[in-house]
């Protein structure tokens, strides 16, 4: 699936200024992450288990 076919969204915590934001798109097997300021660059695909560990690490400090 190409990056243009994915349903990208920003976190509700993202500021309205549009700076320093990432967007994610979910698929059955991966979470895709990209820089919202330059959507022409390749996205990073991370397995769902790896993404869950990352989010847990960030939220728990």
Q: For the segment 9-57, what is each residue's pLDDT rounded down to a tens digit?
A: 987 777 666 666 889 999 999 999 998 888 889 999 999 999 999 999 9
Q: Which residues pair with 9 in a beta bridge?
A: 24
Q: Is 20 helix (H, G, I), strand (E, B) or coil?
A: coil
d(CA 14, CA 2): 24
Run of H or E residues at 38: none
Q: Tell me the whole-structure pTM to 2 decimals.
A: 0.78
Write down the pLDDT at residue 37: 85
Range of the domain at 28: 3-60
Write down the pLDDT at residue 22: 86
Total domain count for the chain? 1
């Amino acid at each position: 699936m190409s990056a243009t076919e994915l349903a990208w969204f920003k976190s509700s915590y993202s500021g309205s200024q549009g700076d320093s934001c990432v967007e994610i798109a979910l698929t059955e097997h991966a979470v895709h992450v990209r820089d919202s300021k330059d959507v022409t660059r390749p996205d990073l695909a991370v397995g769902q288990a790896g993404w869950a560990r990352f989010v847990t690490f960030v939220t728990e400090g």
